[in-house]
Amino acid sequence: MNLFQNAKFFTTVNHLKDLPNTPAEIAFVGRSNAGKSSAINTLCNHVRLAYVSKTPGRTQHINFFELTNGNFMVDLPGYGYAQVPEAVRAHWVKLLGDYLQTRKQLIGLVLIMDLRHPLKALDVQMLNFFALTGRPVHILLSKSDKLSKNEQIKAFAAVKKALKPFMERQQITVQLFSSLKKQGIEEVNQVVSQWFAD
């Protein structure tokens, strides 16, 4: 079964206190412009389910989508957008941290990082926030089509090496992904389906 195919928009909230009561959910996070909305649209085979931003970082909504198994996918606000005031950015990082550390029904995190710009400080912070939960993280190295096959292999190996210390303390899997080339869709579906099955 494809978990994402025909996922349906469920609700948008702006505050953690308004989060809906779901049976179980997975969340997508990433720096703004990493390709998170595109990845969600590609996985769900839907052109505009998640909004691909022209001005990244403007939306601070938490969007919920219902998956085909009756569980939920959460699209969290992108972080790190330079043109948002520092105080606002810090506020959102704190909210993300609170959500990642306290959300009981969150069974796994999908972290999207541009293959060409991986593991920035805030990405590491998200991994740190989530480490204490003991739950798995799956990393999509996005926009892989922007590199040649050879460069992809090198960049992928470099990220895996950099992730080694993190993998010693938390369950992390990682793959290449391209929304443009529709590369890696089945692998995401398999990993996330396994989370729901465990």
Q: 25 or 75, CB closer to ligand GDP? A: 75
Q: Is 63 a binder of ligand GDP (CB under 6 A)?
A: no
Q: Is 35 a binder of ligand GDP (CB under 6 A)?
A: yes
Q: Is 37 a binder of ligand GDP (CB under 6 A)?
A: yes
What are the angstrom distances between the C-alpha of 70 and each of 22, 25, 65, 153?
9, 10, 10, 36
Q: Side by side, which strands form the sheet with 8-13?
A: 8-13, 62-66, 72-75, 25-30, 106-114, 137-142, 172-176
Selected from 52, 93, 119, 191, the binder of ligand GDP by CB under 6 A is 52
Selected from 27, 36, 79, 137, the binder of ligand GDP by CB under 6 A is 36
Q: Is 38 a binder of ligand GDP (CB under 6 A)?
A: yes
For residues 130-159, which are near ligand GDP according to CB under 6 A? Answer: 142-143, 145-146
Residue 62 CB partners (closer than 8 Å, separation 6+): 12, 13, 14, 19, 74, 75, 76, 77, 99
Residue 13: is it exposed, middle or buried by C-beta count within 10 angstroms (0-12/13-18/19+)? middle
Q: Is 180 a binder of ligand GDP (CB under 6 A)?
A: yes
Q: Is 32 a binder of ligand GDP (CB under 6 A)?
A: yes
What number of other Cβ atoms are within 10 A of residue 22's Cβ? 17
Q: Is 175 a binder of ligand GDP (CB under 6 A)?
A: no
Q: 17 or 48, CB closer to ligand GDP? A: 48
What residue ranges bind ligand GDP (CB under 6 A)? 30, 32-38, 52-53, 56, 78, 142-143, 145-146, 178-180
